[in-house]
Structure 1
């Protein structure tokens, strides 16, 4: 293996893979990034590994479990020990913007973030309120909505909120469309075609897919044109399918051919699973079910999976009961005559976005084998790091079915 130094990173790959200005070094140093070429339609773009075995493991739902793959052939023991101690990143050079994205990670931010929030409906207003109060790391929240009066109203009211502890709160500004992607996080909450309270639609989220996909196509193209180096946070439903649509749309050229010159897969995340975790915990308390080791996975909708325990304590009957109750929790609010947007806006979006900025474990839909799958992950300098835990075989089978369903969804 060849090691070269480039902008503070140690790159490891073949001679033809390196940028021209990279300089040869004799041994690896941290942060170490492996350079690979993999099918961009179904493989990840930049992700973190904790062991050298993870470098060559099959990208599947089993990436949520401890790695069982064998070490790559001709692997030196010192390199394996180095990765075990320091971790490493894997960069897929099939994406044209791979190196610019890596360079953007060279000086990670821990404060002073700017967020652009698009959409100031019920969900967007709730997300904005949560970010205003919780976002200690955020300097500015730039808001955009076709309704200019709504923008003016939120700019005035949000900037009239007192700090509970004297620390400065994020400044809320109105964003012109040409500056939408001058930010660290782009949060999209706008939605079209939301079924009414008496529509009788069982899966409200999927009913929104086509209308929201068409609207998002415009913003994906803007992100591509702006050479966006931040994270596109997809919040409107169905988040998993729409996150995939954003990624694909940004990687098509003017004649709709894939050139993979747009966003890397990890630059898009879907945010809908946080509220499902909160609902599952709430319902478990009401049903007297121990949820201390509980977990939620998969799509924010009918494919959701709730587990009473992800490990040896997994109980199929209890888990299926919790799954059903959690899937239907939004219907209980609608039956009262209200749209359920407060808990989703806070748990799925505002709180999860803040945890992402802090590098903490958070619920989100991240790329995995040709789909965006909801799970726990964290964002690091070395890429998205999946939270890997021992998963009961019966639960893993359920996750595989849900993942396959997402992969087969026709969103092209």
Structure 2
């Protein structure tokens, strides 16, 4: 290992190819550390938390990072300790601005801003209001309809637990204030195909219109040098995330853009696992991979995998939204 110091930060690498000030070792009281690697930035993030010693030796980001191996790694005990505490950040030096990653986010409540208060945005707002006491400082809401903003301000201002006024405050904001936050959540949509269009891939039908919408906000985020999380909830999640990355022209890093579609698919798999006993192993052993759509892959169990059951459960999860749409 090679160790360096940059300002008040301690760095290390496997290869001696950096011009930072060299040091013999990291101090015993070091509480955070930055690992320098150089991966192809076309398919690798600018930074990520090191979760396992094997993360220090990868040559690319791939599915192999999800596989736990039995290989032993001869690395200092101090590094093992910091990995266990999630206090080592891997920084990809292939990015021009990688030095901007030499920091650790402090644990504090975050400010969240939501764009669009339709069915999805308003449901999200209710959930964040009720569940965000310990992690959210405030919630900003914006919609093209001023009436919706006022209505939800009233509703949320009158939502509280008995004898507890500690839920995050909700206030309407202006469009130009959307990126004055730690997390921006895109819930806007140009419309959903009418019930009866089930022969189409409903998510992809929405892509053209929603891509036009999201590109506007990706450009806004880039123009203001947004440093927070750009969260995508609207369909099709994966393709819209790619649109944000491309439209931001490198200003937004890949790890800043988060698509929240896979969690929905996991919830649907859990739902059917409770209904049908043959899928019950998913509740404790299952995993879900891939996009929020027809290319989803559900494993019924990671310890006793059954391909037939997994494919059947995948089909249920992928088509669950069609069952909901049948209800009107």
* TM tier, smaller: 0.7 to 0.9
Residue 102 of structure 2 aligns to a residue whose secondary structure is helix
Superposition pairs for residues 71-220 of structure 1, below 5 Å? 77-79=74-76, 81-87=77-83, 88-103=88-103, 105=104, 107-111=105-109, 113-136=110-133, 137-164=135-162, 166-220=164-218
Is residue 309–residue 315 contact of structure 1 (8 Å, CA) maintained in 2? Answer: yes
RMSD: 2.2
Residue 198 of structure 2 aligns to a residue whose secondary structure is coil
Deviation string for 1:112-137 (max 9, x for gaps)? x1001011111001000110111112
Task: Give the distance between the partners of 2:154 and 2:78, measured in 1 at CA.
Answer: 52
Matched, 1:64 2:66: yes
Residue 274 of structure 1 aligns to a residue whose secondary structure is helix
Q: Which one of the candidate residues 276, 280, 292 is aligned to 1:287?
A: 276
Residue 323 of structure 1 aligns to a residue whose secondary structure is helix
Q: TM (normalized to structure 2)?
A: 0.88
Task: Give the distance between the partners of 2:185 and 2:31, measured in 1 at CA.
Answer: 32
| Aligned-residue offset at 1:269 | 0.8
Is residue 209–residue 237 contact of structure 1 (8 Å, CA) maintained in 2? Answer: yes
Is residue 91–residue 101 contact of structure 2 (8 Å, CA) maintained in 1? Answer: no
| Aligned-residue offset at 1:5 | 3.3
Residue 122 of structure 2 aligns to a residue whose secondary structure is helix
- Asked which structure has the greater CA Rg, the reply is 2
1:43 corresponds in structure 2 to 44
- Higher RCO, Cα 8 Å, sep 6+: 1
Deviation string for 1:279-299 (max 9, x for gaps)? 111111211122221222211
Deviation string for 1:127-176 (max 9, x for gaps)? 00110111112121011111121111111211111225614111111122
Deviation string for 1:36-70 (max 9, x for gaps)? 33322211210122344322323212221115789
Judging changes above 3 Å, is the alpha-carbon distance between structure 1 residues 244 and 224 closer, same or farther for their aligned structure 2 residues? Answer: same
Unaligned runs of 5+ in 2: none
Q: TM (normalized to structure 1)?
A: 0.71
Judging changes above 3 Å, is the alpha-carbon distance between structure 1 residues 69 and 7 closer, same or farther for their aligned structure 2 residues? Answer: farther
Matched, 1:324 2:321: no
Deviation string for 1:340-398 (max 9, x for gaps)? xxxxxxxxxxxxxxxxxxxxxxxxxxxxxxxxxxxxxxxxxxxxxxxxxxxxxxxxxxx
2:35 corresponds in structure 1 to 34
Q: Which one of the candidate residues 298, 301, 309 is aligned to 2:301?
A: 309
Is residue 198–residue 322 contact of structure 2 (8 Å, CA) maintained in 1? Answer: no
Is residue 95–residue 264 contact of structure 1 (8 Å, CA) maintained in 2? Answer: no
1:402 corresponds in structure 2 to none
Judging changes above 3 Å, is the alpha-carbon distance between structure 1 residues 133 and 54 closer, same or farther for their aligned structure 2 residues? Answer: same
| Aligned-residue offset at 1:7 | 5.9
| Aligned-residue offset at 1:328 | 1.1
Pairs aligned (count): 314
Unaligned runs of 5+ in 1: 72-76, 253-259, 338-412
Deviation string for 1:185-212 (max 9, x for gaps)? 1111111242111223442112112221
2:12 corresponds in structure 1 to 12
Is residue 54–residue 69 contact of structure 1 (8 Å, CA) maintained in 2? Answer: no
Is residue 137–residue 168 contact of structure 2 (8 Å, CA) maintained in 1? Answer: yes
Task: Give the distance between the partners of 2:70 and 2:75, measured in 1 at CA.
Answer: 20
1:350 corresponds in structure 2 to none
Judging changes above 3 Å, is the alpha-carbon distance between structure 1 residues 187 and 97 closer, same or farther for their aligned structure 2 residues? Answer: farther
Superposition pairs for residues 214-233 of structure 1, below 5 Å? 214-233=212-231
Judging changes above 3 Å, is the alpha-carbon distance between structure 1 residues 159 and 92 closer, same or farther for their aligned structure 2 residues? Answer: same
| Aligned-residue offset at 1:24 | 4.6
Task: Give the distance between the partners of 2:219 and 2:96, measured in 1 at CA.
Answer: 16
After the TM superposition, which parts of structure 1 deviate over 6 Å for at least 4 consecutive aligned residues? 68-71
Judging changes above 3 Å, is the alpha-carbon distance between structure 1 residues 201 and 194 closer, same or farther for their aligned structure 2 residues? Answer: farther
Residue 215 of structure 1 aligns to a residue whose secondary structure is helix
Is residue 38–residue 93 contact of structure 2 (8 Å, CA) maintained in 1? Answer: yes
Q: Which one of the candidate residues 289, 294, 297 is aligned to 2:289?
A: 297
